[in-house]
């Protein structure tokens, strides 16, 4: 959504729906794909910062602290929200849990659909 919102708001592009489970606050008039007729549909894009396995805990904590501080200023939160993005500056443990759940979810989809890399 972040790369298309300007085109939609200017009228150069017509958005049909958002792929997230909930409507986006930047364009609340847009239904979700599920609301538009595909029940259960949900696809979110996300970004996570990771460090190599074995990175000392103090280094992880320092990185987390600085990144969290940079992303959660009111100006940054508004900057991202205006583009349809939500900042979730969770803990390293919560991020790892989310990453693992996403890997499991998409591995299941890939297996069920017989998707192969070419």
Helix (H) or strand (E) holding 72: none
CA distance 33 to 31: 6
* pLDDT score at 52: 95
* pLDDT score at 4: 87
Tokens of 67: 């990144």
Tokens of 101: 């759940």
* pLDDT score at 115: 96
pTM for the whole structure:
0.74
DSSP-based three-state secondary structure for 74? helix
* pLDDT score at 40: 92
The DSSP-derived string for 35-58 is TTT-TT------------TT--HH
pLDDT tens over the chain, length 118 residues: 788 888 998 999 999 999 999 999 899 999 999 999 999 999 988 899 999 999 999 999 999 999 999 999 999 999 999 988 999 999 999 999 999 999 999 999 999 999 998 8
* pLDDT score at 92: 93
* Structural domain spans, the chain: 1-43, 46-118
């Amino acid at each position: 959504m972040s790369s298309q919102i300007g085109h939609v708001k200017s009228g150069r592009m017509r958005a049909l729906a958002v792929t997230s489970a909930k409507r986006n606050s930047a364009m609340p008039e847009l239904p979700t794909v599920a609301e538009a007729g595909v029940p259960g549909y949900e696809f979110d894009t996300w970004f996570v910062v990771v460090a190599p396995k074995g990175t000392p805990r103090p280094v992880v904590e320092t990185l987390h602290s600085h990144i969290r501080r940079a992303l959660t200023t009111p100006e940054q939160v508004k900057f991202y929200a205006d583009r349809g993005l939500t900042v979730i500056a969770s803990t390293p443990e919560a991020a790892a849990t989310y990453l693992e759940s996403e890997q499991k979810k998409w591995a299941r989809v890939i297996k069920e659909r017989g998707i192969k890399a070419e």
